[in-house]
């Protein structure tokens, strides 16, 4: 079977009937879900789910692995003043890639893989700042979970200074399986964590590597830490003892870039 090649994809323009980055109403949402547009998530009322129209929308979401959340009608009213009929869908501002297609292409091009994995980064501005640093440092893809991650909305795009239009983002249903795939493909997994036992500045980033960063609240989950080949900490001289995750990510990425450009 011929391998699919990765090509950078640009966000598609919004369709008619959208306001900002969302679509309201049963028929417009149904048509959106049938299209090839990226859909971030769907909000639907319990009342609509009791009807066949709502069941059809839920089924399409599950088929496309789109998060579908049951909410009260009041929440939908705050999102849009239009007649939403009990459902609102949020359009993705970028086109997501598949890590299974992207990684082979990178190897075929003779490049050394350099990925960033984000475990439950939920703050939109943190995510945008991280994407900006990642693009500047030469990261070839950002990998995020499809649930519990920051929405890539207009604030994220703006904070990234447009970097999210240039760096592939892979949204994975199972982050553990994605890490297993990277490891089996020859990448070294480096978790940047305060629980680390080696200095980040003494960690080898020169080969195929994926750097893992954790959430703002509790860092990298234990299950993901167990998958890492190295647990690296950032040496600090101050008294606070912790860094904002976007700052910590920038330090890790540019240490890796330094090693990879000056072996």
Average pLDDT score, the chain: 89
For 200, other C-beta atoms within 10 Å of its C-beta total 21
- Residue 26 above 90 pLDDT? yes
pLDDT at 48: 97
What digits encode the pLDDT tens for the residues 166-205? 999 999 989 999 999 999 999 999 999 999 999 999 999 9
Give the pLDDT score at 130: 97
Reply yes or no on whether the pLDDT at 140 is more than 70: yes
217 burial (CB, 10 Å; 0-12 / 13-18 / 19+) is exposed
pLDDT band at 14; cut points 50, 70, 90: very low
CB atoms within 10 A of CB 26: 18
Summarised one tens digit per residue, pLDDT across range 214-233 is 998 889 999 999 999 999 99
Whether 159 shows a pLDDT value over 50: the answer reads: yes
Cα angle: 61, vertex 38, 249; to 5 degrees: 110
Give CA–CA dist 57/190, Å, rounded: 40
What is the average per-residue pLDDT within 18-27? 77
Q: Is the pLDDT of residue 74 over 60?
A: yes
Q: Which residue has the higher pLDDT, 237 or 115?
A: 115
HSE-up of 262 (CA within 13 Å, CB side)?
A: 3
3-state helix, strand, coil in the chain (%, to 5): 40, 20, 40
- Encode pLDDT of 38-49 as tens digits: 888 899 999 999
pLDDT in the model for residue 263: 61
Strand order in the sheet with 18-19: 18-19, 22-24, 87-91, 39-44, 68-70
Q: Is 187 helix (H, G, I), strand (E, B) or coil?
A: coil
* Separation CA 207–CA 186 (nearest Å): 9
Domains, the chain, with CATH or none: 18-91 (3.30.1330.30), 99-261 (3.40.1280.10)
When pLDDT is averaged across residues 90-106 and rounded to a whole number, the result is 89
pTM of the model: 0.78
């Amino acid at each position: 079977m011929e391998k699919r090649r990765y090509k950078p994809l640009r966000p598609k323009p919004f369709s008619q009937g959208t306001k900002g980055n969302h679509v309201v109403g049963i028929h417009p949402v149904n048509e959106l879900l049938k299209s090839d547009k990226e859909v971030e998530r769907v909000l639907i009322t319990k009342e609509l789910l009791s009807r066949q129209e709502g069941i059809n929308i839920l089924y399409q979401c599950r088929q496309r692995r789109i998060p579908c959340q049951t909410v009260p009608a009041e929440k939908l009213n705050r999102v849009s003043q239009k007649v939403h009929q009990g459902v609102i869908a949020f359009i993705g501002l970028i086109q997501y890639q598949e890590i299974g297609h992207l990684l082979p292409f990178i190897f075929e091009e003779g490049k050394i893989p350099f990925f960033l994995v984000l475990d439950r980064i939920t703050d939109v501005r943190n995510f945008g700042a991280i994407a900006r640093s990642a693009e500047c440092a030469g990261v070839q893809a950002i990998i995020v979970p499809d649930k519990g991650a920051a929405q890539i909305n207009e604030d994220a795009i703006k904070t990234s200074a447009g970097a999210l239009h240039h760096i592939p983002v892979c949204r994975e249903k199972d982050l553990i399986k994605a890490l297993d795939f990277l490891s089996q493909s020859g990448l070294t997994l480096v978790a940047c964590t305060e629980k680390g036992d080696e200095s980040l500045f003494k960690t080898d980033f020169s080969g195929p590597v994926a750097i893992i960063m954790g959430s703002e609240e509790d860092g990298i989950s234990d299950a993901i830490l167990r998958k890492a080949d190295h647990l690296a900490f950032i040496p600090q001289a101050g008294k606070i003892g912790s860094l904002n995750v976007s700052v910590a990510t920038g330090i890790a990425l540019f240490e890796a870039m330094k090693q990879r450009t000056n072996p």
